Structure 1
Amino acid sequence: MESFRKVIKGWLGKVLLILFLTPLALVGIEGYFGGGNKADVAKTVNGQDISKKDLENLTKTYKDQYLSLAKGDETLLNQSYIEENALNTLIARSLLLQQAEKLGISLSDAQIEKMLAQQPSFQENGKFSETLYSNYLRSVGMTSQALIASLRQDHALKMLTSSVTDTALVSKFDLHQIAVLQTEQRTIHLASIKLDDYKKNINVTNQEIADYYNKHKNKFKQVASVDVDYIVVSPAQVSSAPAAVTEAELQQAYNAFVETQKKDAKRLVKHILITADGRSDAEAQKIANDVYAKIQAGTHFSEAAKQYSDDTSSKNNGGVVDAYQPGIFSKDFDQAVESLKNGQVSKPVKTQYGYHIIEVETAQVKLPSLEAEKARLTAEIQKSKSANAYTDTINRLNEMVVSTDALDSVAQELKGLRVESLNGVTLSTQHPLLSDPNVKAKLFNDDVKNGDRNASSNIQLANGDTIWVKVRNYHAAGVKPLATATAQVRAKLIEDKAFNAAQAKIQAVLNDFKTQPADQVVAKSGLKFESAGTFTRSQGLKREIERAAFSLTAPKAGMWSVATAKLPDELVVVGVSDINSKAADALNPEQLQELGNLYQRFRGQQELDDYTQYLKSHAKIK
C-alpha cells in the first residue's frame, strides 16, 4: 500500500491535488453573502444580481486563504486575479442555483429543521437546545427563516453538483490505462556529452541576436526589481544596564495588575428582555422602565426575569444568558456589561431584539500580594524601560536619516554598523531582512515607481529589529530591452548551436540504435553510457530526461529506444532498454479502488466545469 501511495504522489496525484485545492468550492459558502444593495451590483446573471458586497466578501475570503499560503506576505498576491476568481465563482454559483430551481431540486422546511436539530453544536445532553440555537442566530445576525432559506440554497447546490460529480463514469479500460501509466517501470541508460568544446568555435552575429530577440520577446520578460541600500539596528546594539525601579513604579504596576485581574474575572451575565412583539416600541420601553423601577424598589432580579422577560430560554433560570460572548446581542449590550460592577443592574438597553435590563455577577478573585509579585513586576518594568530607551534611540536616528537622506548617519552613531547593498531585489526574493512584507511594501510602492529615491523612515521588522532602506534604482516590469538582453540571447544561441552540432555528430549513432543491438552500438559509439536504474514517472529524474525517456516506444529484445535531452551545457543521450507495464497487474483491489476514486473525482470535476461552462454560454451576463 505504501508503494501505491508513492505512485499517487506522481504526476496524476499532482494534477488531482491542484484540482482539489480550489480556494473555495461552489457550495458551502452561503455564509459569505450578505445580500447587497440593488443599486450596488457587480454582475447580473440572467437577471439575478451579484452584489459588490458579496464579491468583496468572497474576494476577502480568497485573499485570506492565499495569505495563509504566502505566510501573510500580501506583496506576493495578485489582487486582480483573486477578484476575478471570486467573481467567476459567484457567477457559476448563480447559474447552478438557477438550474437547481428549474429542476426542482430542494429540501423542505421540515427536512432542514430536522438537519438543524441533529447538529451537535445545537445539542445539549443529546437533545436540541433552543438556547444554543438562539445564541447562534444572534451571533450571525440572522433569523431562523433566513438561515433555513440559506441552507436550502446551499443543499440545492450540493445536490446538483454531486449529481454531476458523483456519477462520472470511469471504465475498466480507463482505469487500467491510468494504472499502467502510473506504475510503468522503465530501465534507463544515460550518456553525457559536454558542450563546452562545441562552443569554442561558434560565432553569433548581431543580426542573429536581433532576429532571435524580436521573434522571442516573451522569453525576455522581467519582473519589477530594485537596487537597494539598507542598514539594520537591533535592540542588543543599543542596550544598556538594567534601569533602576522605584517603589512608586512597583506600586503603580501592581495596581494595574490588580485591576486587570478583577476585569478578567469570570462574570455571569443575566438579562430581562422586553420585546416589541405584539406591542409598540414605546410600550416595550415603558414596560422595561417599570420593571427596572421594581428591581430598584426591591424586587429580586430572578423574580422579575421569571415574571416579565420575553426570553423563554433564560427567564426561568434567573435571566442567565448561557455561554454569553460579546457580539451575541449588540455593541450597546456589551458596553453595558463592561460598565456594570458586581451585582449592579443597568437601566434598559435597546438592541434589535428589544429592551434589556442587565445584571452582572463577578466571581471573587484571590489576588497575590505585592511582595509575591515583586520580582516579576520588576522584570517587566525593566523590560519596558529598555524598550522605551530603544524606541527613543530609534526615533533620534530616524530624525537624522530623514533630515540628511543618508543611511550612513546611523553607522556613524552606532559602532559596528555599516550600510549594506543588494541589487535585483524582486517581490519574490528570499532575504532574511528585505523579504519582510513591510520592507517590500516600501521598496515597491507607487512613490518608488514614480522616481522617489529618498531614504525611508524606520521600519519595524518582525524580529524586533529596525531597518532603513534607500532605493538606488527601480527596474520596471516588462520586456527587457535588446541592449539588456543581448548577453542572454548570445548565450542562448551559442548553447543551441552547440547542442545542434553535438546532435549532428552523434546522429549516425542514434540511427544505429534503431536497427542494431544495443551492445554493438554502445561498443563502437565511443559514448560512455551509465545505467541510471529503473524508474516510474515522477520518481526523481530531471524533467527533460524523464520527458525523453517516457516518450519512447518499447524497444525490441536486445535493443534500446533512444532520444536526446537538452540540459545546461550538456546533451544527454537517453536510452530505454526495457519497459515493464505489468506492475499495474499487481495492484490489489483496495489500491485500484483508491485510484478509481481519485480518477472518478477528477472526471466528475471536469464534467461539472463543462456543465457550468455550458450554462454560462447560454446565460445573459452583464
Structure 2
Amino acid sequence: MLQNIRDNSQGIVAKIIVGLIIVTFALFGVESLVSLTSGSNAPATVNGVEISEQELLQGADLQRRQLLAQMGENADPTLLDDNLINKATLDNLIQREVLVQSAVNQDMAISDHMLDQMIINTQDFKVDGVFNPDQYQAVLRNAGLTPMMYKDLLRKESLVDYERSGYMLSAFVLDSDVDNILKLDRETRDMAYVKVGLSDYMAGVSVSADEMNAYYDAHLQDFMTEEQVAIQYLLINKADLLKEVTVDEAELQSQFDQLQAVYNAEEQRTVSHIMIEVSDDVDDATALAKAEALQQRLAAGEDFAALAESESDDPGSAAVGGDLGVYQDGMLDGPFEQAVYALKKGEVSAPVRTAFGYHLIKLTDLSESEPPVFADVKDQLIAEQMENKVEQLYVERVGQLTDLSFSSGDLQEPADELALKIVEVKPFGRQGGDDDITTNPRVIRAAFDEELIRDGLNSDPIELDSGRTLVLRIKEHIRPRQLSEDEVKPQITEILTFKKAGEALEASLSTELEKLQQGAERTTINGAEWLVEDAVSRTNRTQPAEILSAAFKLPKPDQVASYNLIALQDGSRAIVAVTAVNEPDLSEVSAEERQAMRNVLGQRTGQFDYQAMIEARTSAAEVERL
C-alpha cells in the first residue's frame, strides 16, 4: 500500500496539487487552507459578529417550549410552524446582537460577580427562599440551557436592559407638554345628540327581484354551506381502567423494602453567614479587618442574626439574619463548603475567603434525616403501585387498539375485542363541535384528513392528553354546496332592506344636518328627542362610546355648535352636537398629579426614543443572512 502511495505521488496531477499548496502557503499562510475546509455555517452576521447556528437552534427550541406551555396541557407540537419560529427567532437574535453591540459601544459592562449575585437572588432558583443549585440546574435543563449558556444570555439581556433604562430614565418633557396633556385630559364638553332608528324606514322599503338576483350573483361565496364531517370513535380513558387494577400487598412490602434499601441517612446542616464584600471600593485587607472585628463582637456575645442584618453585604440573606437555609453540596466554592462541614452546631467560623469576599459562617442546626416508616409511606406506595399498573394497562390497551384498528375495516372489531363503546358524533365543521373531543385540534385535523375521507380508513391513535387516546373513523363527509337563490331569499331580503333603509335614513338626516350647521334650532326628528349633557369628560361611561368618540373629534364651536352625522353599529344614525368646550383650571392640579403625568409622559418619550434608537442601529448595521 505504501508503495502504491509513493508511485502515485510521482504523477503530474500530484505535483500540480503540491505546487498549489506551496503557493497558497507562501501567499496566504496556513489559515487559508483551514478556512477552505471549515467555512462558517452561521445563519447570520451582525457587523461581522456571527450569530451561531447553535444560538438559533437553542433560541428556536426555547420559543417552541414557551409556545407549547402557553397552549396548555393538550398542546399539539405539530400545530407549530418551524419555519416561522426559526425566522422570528433569527430576527430577535439579530436585533439583540445589534443592541448588545450598541451597549458595549457605550462602554457598558457587567462583572461576573454581579451576574453571580443576580443568579443567586433569582426567585426561580430558590427553595424555601434560599438559592438551591439543584433547582438552578433543573430550571436550566427544562429550558434547554447550560449554566454557561444561561450566564451568557443573562449578560446580554442585562446589557440591553441597562441601555434601555438609560433612555427611559433620561427622557424628559417640558412643562408646556405637561400642561397641554393635562388640558386635553381634563377637558369637558357640553354636548347633545339625537339617535334615529331604522324602524320607520324599514317598512317603506321594497326589494325587487332584479336587486335580489344582482346581490346573489355578487355574493355567491357568502351563500355556501359549511363543510362538515360526522365521526365515530373508540376512546381509551386511563381513569376508566382504575377499576381493573388492585393493590398487591406483597408487592407493596417489596416497594417498602426497596425504599429502605436505598435510604441513606443524610446530615442536614442549616447555615447562616455574614458576608463582607471585596469590591473596587473595599479592598481585601479592609474587608478582612471588618470581618475579624465582627468575629470579636460575636465572641463578646452579640447576636449573630442582628449583626448579619446590619452588617452583611449579602442583600438576599441579610434581611433574614443571614439565614441560608439547609446547605446544599456545591452551593458555594471550596473554602466555604469546607468551613461548613468543619463546624459543630452553634459554632462560628473564622473569616473564610471566597470569590465574593469574606464570610463568617454559623452552623445554626445539625440534624439527621429519619428512615421511612411503613405506616407513613403506605398511602404513597399504594398510589405509586396503582399509577404504575394503570399506566402499564393503558399503554397495553392503546397498543392493542392501534393494532386492531389498523387491520380492521371498521371500528366494530376493536370495539368488541376491547369491550369499548363506539361513540357517534353529530356533524361538525372545521371550527369544531360542541364538546371537548370535537374541539380538540388533533381530532379536527384527523376528521378532515383527505386520505381518511377518501379511503374510509380508521385514523392513527390520537392522544387527547396524558390519559386519553382515541381512534376515529369518518362516518359521513358533507361537502360544501352552493345554496340556491330561493334558499337564501329571506336572508338577502333582510340584508337589502336593512341597507336601503339605512341609506334613506342617512339622506333624510343629511338634510337636517345642513340646516343645523346653518344655525337652525334643534327640534325633534322623527319623534326622537335630543339628549343634552353638560361637562362630559373623555372618561365618561354613561354616554354611548360611539357618541362620546364623535363628540371629542368635533372642532371647538364658534358662533354655531359643531355637528356631525354618524352611523352606529346597530344600523341607526345619530347627529352629534358640541355646544361648548370647557378647559380645566390647571391651578387646581396638585404637584403630585402633575408629577405623575410627567412620569407617564417621560416613560412614553423614553420608549419612543429607545425605539427610534433601535431602528437607527438596525438600519445602520451590516446584517448578512444565509
TM score, norm. by length of structure 1: 0.57
Q: Distance in 2 between matches of 1:497 and 1:154?
A: 59
Contact 2:236 2:397 in 1 (8 A): no
Give how far 1:250 is off.
Answer: 0.9
Aligned equivalent of 1:251: 250
Distance 2:483 2:79 in 1: 28
- Give how far 1:494 is off: 6.2
Give the partner amino acid of 2:178.
L
The whole-number CA distance in structure 2 between the counterparts of 1:266 and 1:474 is 67
String of CA shifts for 1:553-586, please: whole Å, max 9, x gaps. 3457995734212424544555556655539876
**Aligned pair in 2 of structure 1 residues 122, 547: CA closer, same or farther (>3 Å)?**
closer
Give the Cα separation in 2 of the matches to 1:57 and 1:369. 45
Could you tell me which residue of structure 2 aligns to residue 598 of structure 1?
600
Q: 1:432 aligns with which of 436, 442, 461?
A: 436
Q: Does 1:503 align with 2:506?
A: yes
Matches of 2:177 and 2:342, distance apart in 1? 65
* Contact in 2 for aligned 1:192/1:528 (Cα 8 Å): no
Mapped partners of 1:596, 1:452: distance in 2: 68
What's the counterpart of residue 207 of structure 2? 201
State how far apart, in whole Å, the 2-side matches of 1:557 and 1:189 are: 18
- Alpha-carbon deviation of 1:51? 1.6
Instruction: Please show how residues 48-63 of structure 1 align to structure 2 within 5 Å.
Output: 48-63=49-64
Secondary structure at the residue paired with 1:551? coil
Q: Which ranges in structure 1 are unaligned for 5 or more consecutive residues?
A: 1-36, 124-130, 270-309, 321-361
CA offsets 1:315-334 (integer angstroms, 9 cap, x no match):
566699xxxxxxxxxxxxxx
Partner of residue 93 from structure 2, selected from 85, 90, 94:
90
Q: Indicate if the aligned counterparts of 1:225 and 1:425 stay in contact, CA closer than 8 A.
A: yes
Aligned length: 473
How much does 1:604 deviate? 2.0
Instruction: Give a deviation string over 1:330-358, Cα, whole Å, max 9, x none.
Output: xxxxxxxxxxxxxxxxxxxxxxxxxxxxx
Aligned-residue offset at 1:595: 3.5
Q: Tell whether 2:180 aligns with 1:174.
A: no
State how far apart, in whole Å, the 1-side matches of 2:387 and 2:135 are.
43
Of 594-603 and 541-550, more deviation after overlay is shown by: 541-550
Change (3 A) 1:252 1:557: farther
State how far apart, in whole Å, the 1-side matches of 2:245 and 2:580 are: 77
1:279 matched to which residue of 2? none
Against the structure 1 CA distance between its residues 258 and 188, is the aligned structure 2 distance closer, same or farther, given a 3 Å change threshold? Answer: farther
Is 2:48 the partner of 1:47? yes
> Does structure 2 retain, via aligned residues, the 8 Å contact 1:401–1:410?
yes
Inter-partner Cα distance in structure 2 for 1:528 and 1:615: 59
Q: Is the 8 A contact 1:509 1:525 kept in 2?
A: no
* Cα RMSD for the two superposed structures: 5.6
CA contact (8 A) 1:38 1:51 kept: no
Q: How far off its partner does 1:164 sit? A: 3.2
Moved more, 84-93 or 429-438: 429-438
1:397 Cα offset (Å)? 5.9
CA deviations over 1:32-86 (Å, ceiling 9, x no partner): xxxxx97231112222211222223233334444444444645776655544333
Calculate the TM-score normalised by the size of structure 2: 0.57
For the residue of structure 2 that corresponds to 1:421, the secondary structure is coil
2:49 maps to a residue whose letter is Q
Please tell me whether the aligned partners of residues 510 and 565 of structure 2 are also in contact (alpha carbons under 8 angstroms): no
Q: Deviations over 1:271-296 (max 9, x none)?
A: xxxxxxxxxxxxxxxxxxxxxxxxxx
Q: How many Å separate the matches in 2 of 1:47 and 1:482?
A: 61
Alignment of 1:253-332 (within 5 A): 253-260=252-259, 263=262, 267=266, 312=335, 314=337
User: How big is the shift at 1:159?
Assistant: 4.2
Q: Say which SS state the counterpart of residue 513 (structure 2) adopts.
A: helix
Q: Would the aligned equivalents of 2:555 and 2:562 in 1 still touch at CA under 8 Å? A: no
Structure 2 contact 228–478 (Cα < 8 Å) conserved: yes
CA offsets 1:216-269 (integer angstroms, 9 cap, x no match): x9xx8x9x9864535475759967967665xxx212123224424664766569
Q: Is the 8 A contact 2:212 2:492 kept in 1?
A: no
Q: 1:611 to 1:242 in 2, by over 3 A?
A: closer
Deviation at residue 411 of structure 1 after TM alignment: 8.5
Q: Give the distance between the partners of 1:79 and 1:568, measured in 2 at CA.
A: 43
Give the whole-Å Cα distance in 2 for the aligned partners of 1:494 and 1:260.
Answer: 79
Whether the 8 Å contact between 2:205 and 2:497 is mirrored in structure 1 is: yes
Q: Decide whether the 8 Å contact of 1:562 with 1:576 is kept in 2.
A: no
| Paired residue type of 2:607 | Q
1:512 to 515, 530, 536: 515
How far apart, in 1, do the equivalents of 2:114 and 2:538 lie? 47
Q: Secondary structure at the match of 2:428?
A: strand
Instruction: Quote the Cα distance in structure 2 between the aligned partners of 1:591 and 1:94.
Output: 39
5 Å matches for 1:321-470?
A: 365-369=370-374, 401-404=405-408, 406=410, 418-426=423-431, 432-436=436-440, 438-439=442-443, 442=446, 454-462=457-465, 464-470=467-473
C-alpha displacement at 1:381, in angstroms?
5.7
Between Structure 1 and Structure 2, whose CA radius of gyration is higher? 2
Distance in 1 separating the partners of 2:181 and 2:67: 32
Contact residue 184 and residue 583 of structure 1 kept, 8 A: no
Q: Is the alpha carbon distance of 1:42 and 1:544 closer, same or farther for their aligned partners in structure 2, counting shifts above 3 Å?
A: farther
Aligned-pair CA distance for 1:504: 0.9
Following TM superposition, by how much is the alpha carbon of 1:614 offset from its aligned partner in structure 2, in angstroms?
1.9
Give the C-alpha shift of residue 475 in structure 1. 9.2
SS at match of 2:170: coil
In the alignment, what sits opposite 1:609? Answer: 611
**Percent of aligned pairs with the same amino acid:** 18
Match of 2:166 in 1: 163
Structure 2 residues without counterparts, runs of 5 or longer: 1-37, 123-130, 269-332, 344-366
